[in-house]
Every structure is written in structure tokens, then in C-alpha cells.
Amino acid sequence: MPLSPERIAEITDRMGSARVAILGDIMLDEYLFGSVSRISPEAPVPVVEITSEKLLVGGAANVAANISAFRDEPILLGTVGEDEAALKLGYLLSEKGISGEFIVPDKSRRTTIKTRIIAHSQQVVRADREDRQELNPATEKLIHDRFMSVVDRINAVIISDYGKGVITQSLLESVIDECVKRRIFVGVDPKETHFFSYKKVSVITPNHHEAGFAYGRRIVTEKDLLEVGEGLLERLEAESILITRGPQGMSLFRKGQEPTHIPTFARQVYDVTGAGDTVVASFVSAFCAGADLAESAVVANSGAGYIVGEVGTSTVTVQQLRKDLERNIRNGNLISIPAAQAK
């Protein structure tokens, strides 16, 4: 069913009262902007003349930034190195009002940095500086202890897994078990390699490539989509799965209900970086504000549509979400239909 303007107002007015723990891989995103007018004489590659640069929070830190933009309180859990990148990250987080109190420094690891070189609005290359080995036992225990120190005063948990080593099997199982025991809502932005470890979560938000890879069936047709969505829902024993499908929108699978399809809200796609962060953050924030799973998916779809129109990791405010949702009501884009009927 479509969302009414009154229901949108009710949900967005309530956003901003939740406390959300974000556990995952914390990163620093570096952007170098420039132009290309020649090819290098040393190799057949473009020479980018850098004209400006920008630093942004990435990974789990970007999820926390999205939660903060929705006026909820983020509690960011993870690790960084004891290096210059960690100092820069700390400054960026403080600018956004995000505490570094629960981040564990680990001198044996580098802070993950993703450097993207952009020329004429096109990404030319990305360079990653990172350590991807699993956490050492001492760091894992410190992160777990910090999670346990806040678990009784949070409304939801988001697991932001970029496969950089923070989300270990033992840490994941312990966190999910504690949340299930306390009936705390758990949202997961997954990594394919850990997919079947995210059991009994409230929502998992893979894109269609990740979902198909995990299930072992490429999603090409509507029949494929239904088989993958319903199969993963059963195997994960999850409350819901939200499969993001790019230009085809999103499809929500829930226990005991027909699948629901939500058409895309994107206006023009410039950069999909961080879209998954916004999807899981806006879904969880809306749910904490009283939206049901389908309504939360519609809000998440709107958030993603806004973000892909921006360059680099970005956030969307509650006011922007509300405006975008109202615009889509006027355009007749908020109707959710059974996936089996989607064209």
C-alpha cells in the first residue's frame, strides 16, 4: 500500500530518539579531484592534474554519520590504527558529533584508507591502504566488552561488514545472541563471505549480486529473485531481507508475507559509494521510529535514491527524506506491490 503524507510525517517526526550501536569496519575515504588533458609518457595511463581534495568518513563510520544525520545517537564500535589517518578520522567524527569513545586503537593494524581519484566526474582509479586480517584476540575482546557496556541502553544494532577483519565469527555470534536474547533490532549490511553467519537478524540488506552469489543463483528473472529471496530468508531464519536492485528498486521478503517490490526513487546516479550504508541506516532509523518493515524499506529506498545523486559518501537529513518521500507521493512512486507482479 502507498504511504500517505500523514504517515510520512508521523514516521519522520519520530526519527531522532533512538540509540543505535554500529559495529564494523571503520574507514577513511579520501577523494582527489582533478582533470585529464594528456596521457603519461611513462605508460598508457591518464595524467590527472589534482585541483582539490576531500576527506570523508567511510564504512561503519559512514553508517554512524547517517544515523547521526537522522538525529539518532550513534555508538560506533570498531578499531583503527595508531596513525595519522586515525587522527583525521577522529576529527571528522567529532565534527559530526560522533563519539570515538568506543573505538579501540590497535597499533598492529593500519587505519583503512580508500583513495579515489576523480576526473571529470568519473572515477579513474581507487587505491586501498588496509590490513584485512581478523582482529587479534585482545582487540576483539575489547570491542566485545565495549559492546556489552552499552547493550542494555541501545534500541538497535547495525553490523557494517566490509570484510576488513572486524566482523569475526565469534564476535558476530556473540553480538547477535545478545541482541536476540534482549529483542534488540539487528540490521546487517553484509559481506558475501560471512553471509550465512548473519542468522536470526531482523533485516539484512544485500544487493542483488551479493544475494545471488550467496544463494548460488544469479538473479536474472523475477522467478530467480523470488527463489533467492525466499530461500535466503529461510536459511538465515531472518525476520526480513531487503534486496537492493539498482534501477529496479528494492524487494522486501518477510516471514509469512508476500514479497513486496518498491520502485527506485533515484533521480540521476552520480556515485553509488555509500548507498548501502544509507540503506541500512535509514531502514533501522525508520523502524526505531515506529515504521513497520515495509514502511522502513520505502524510507530506505528514498534515502538511497538521494545518496546516489551525490559524489562520495554522503548523508541525508530527516528533512530531506521527508521532502523526497512527499515528492514521490506526488509522482505516484510510493506504491509497494507483490514482487511476483513487478515488471
Position 342 scores a pLDDT of: 42
Cβ within 8 Å of residue 32, ≥6 positions away: 48, 50, 52, 53, 115, 116, 117, 118
**What Å distances lie between residue 91 and 28, 53, 81, 199, 279, CA to CA?**
11, 16, 15, 35, 25
Domain boundaries, the chain: 5-26+62-114+131-341
Helix axes 60-69, 84-95, angle to 10 degrees: 10
What percentage of the chain's residues is helix, strand, coil (to nearest 5)?
40, 25, 35
Residue with cell 528498486: 249
Percent of residues, the chain, with pLDDT higher than 90: 78
Of 111-115, 170-174, 309-313, 329-333, the one with minimum mean pLDDT is 309-313
Average pLDDT of the residues in 106-113: 97
CA dist., res. 217 & res. 10, Å (int): 39
> Which residue numbers are catalytic?
277
Residue 275 pLDDT: 82
Looking at per-residue pLDDT, the higher value among 40 and 312 belongs to 40
CA distance 63 to 86: 17
Question: How far is it, in rounded angstroms, from Cα 308 to Cα 271?
Answer: 5
On the question of pLDDT at 273 being above 70, the answer is no
Residue 335: which pLDDT band, with cuts at 50, 70 and 90? low
How confident is the prediction for the chain on average, in pLDDT? 90
CB atoms inside a 10 Å sphere around CB 295: 22
Evaluate if residue 103 carries a pLDDT over 50: yes
Pair 233, 241: CB distance under 8 Å:
yes
Q: Please state, in angstroms and rounded to a whole number, the distance separating the CA atoms of residues 188 and 24.
A: 10
- Of the given ranges (163-172, 220-229, 327-336), which has the lowest mean pLDDT? 327-336
Number of Cβ atoms within 10 Å of the Cβ of 115 = 15
Rounded average pLDDT over 336-341: 48
Biggest CA–CA distance in the chain, Å, is 62
Cβ-Cβ contacts under 8 Å for 125 (sequence gap 6 or more): 116, 117
The CA distance from 256 to 267, in Å, is 33
**340 vs 166: which has the higher pLDDT:** 166
Cα-based distances in Å from 247 to 119, 304, 308, 309, 318 = 25, 11, 11, 13, 23
Q: Give the pLDDT confidence score for residue 302 in this predicted structure.
A: 87
pLDDT at position 269 is: 44
| CA separation for the pair 250, 261 (Å, rounded) | 6
3-state secondary structure 84-114: HHHHHHHHHHHHCCCCCCCEEECCCCCCEEE
41-50, 62-71, 248-257: the lowest-pLDDT one: 248-257
Is the model's pLDDT at 261 over the cut of 60? yes
The predicted model scores a pTM of 0.92
Contact 156, 186 (CB under 8 A): yes
Residues 321 and 243: beta-carbon distance below 8 Å:
no
Q: What is the dihedral of CA 197, 202, 207, 212, to 10 degrees?
A: 50
In tens, the pLDDT along 76-88 reads 999 999 999 999 9
In CATH terms, 5-26+62-114+131-341 corresponds, of 3.40.50.880, 3.40.190.290, 3.40.30.10, 3.40.1190.20, to 3.40.1190.20
Residue pLDDT, tens place only, 110-130: 999 999 999 998 899 999 999
> How far apart (Å, rounded) are the C-alpha atoms in residues 222 and 173?
33
Residues 200-224 have a mean pLDDT of: 94
For position 311, what pLDDT does the model report? 52
Among the listed ranges 64-68, 106-110, 128-132, 188-192, which one has the minimum average pLDDT value? 188-192
Q: Which residue reads 523502524 in cell numbers?
A: 287
On the question of pLDDT at 341 being above 50, the answer is no
- Residue range 17-42: average pLDDT? 96
Q: What are phi and psi of 35, to 5 degrees?
A: -135, 160
pLDDT of the residue at 307: 73
Position 193 scores a pLDDT of 82
